[in-house]
Amino acid sequence: MSSPWFPYTPDRDRPDPHASPVRYDYLSRDEQEVRQALADWFQISPATSETRNLHTAESLLGDILSKLPLDGDGMDPELLREGWLKAAGPFLGQQSNLLSIVKGVATIQVLQPAMRYHLQQWQGALLGKLKDQFGKDAVHSIRIRIG
């Protein structure tokens, strides 16, 4: 009989509570059968490769950047500036700046709250002029920010 002052000794039938958990590869029954069939056919063990789905960051970024429209007509700052001056007119065009058109939202920057209020009053007319200037589907709303 063990004394209560001795440290804990695990039973043979129970695992050590301080040991690392056992890792299991959980697969559905179909996946297990497919792996086993392939292993039987090719006469190899059905071990999975740990590096099968690894990709370098360089290859992933290259694919993502190639799909972005970074060099399109809507992203050129000069075209945005010229289009904004034509749409807003000489006074509003100099008092505000069209920063970007992203996903149909035109972001306009103003320096004074009074100019922001003025642009909000003319928002419908400006939206129509921006659609005429950049295309019907290019702009669907306007966001005005101070700063």
Q: What is the pLDDT of residue 1?
A: 52
d(CA 30, CA 36): 10
Length of the chain: 147
Amino acid at 76: D
pLDDT per residue of the chain (147 residues) written in tens, 0 to 9:
555 565 655 555 666 666 666 555 667 788 878 888 888 888 776 566 656 667 778 878 887 877 765 555 445 778 888 888 998 888 888 899 988 888 888 899 999 999 999 999 989 999 999 888 888 888 899 999 998
SS3 55: coil
Q: What is the pLDDT of residue 116?
A: 93
For every residue of 83-141, DSSP letters joined together read HHHHHHHHHHHHHEEEEEEETTEEEEEESSHHHHHHHHHTHHHHHHHHHHHH-TTT-SE
Residues 95, 89 contacting (CB under 8 angstroms): no
Residue 100 burial by CB count (10 A; 0-12/13-18/19+): exposed, middle or buried?
A: middle
Q: Which residue, 111, 95, 4, 100, is CA-closest to 130?
A: 100
Q: What is the pLDDT of residue 110?
A: 93
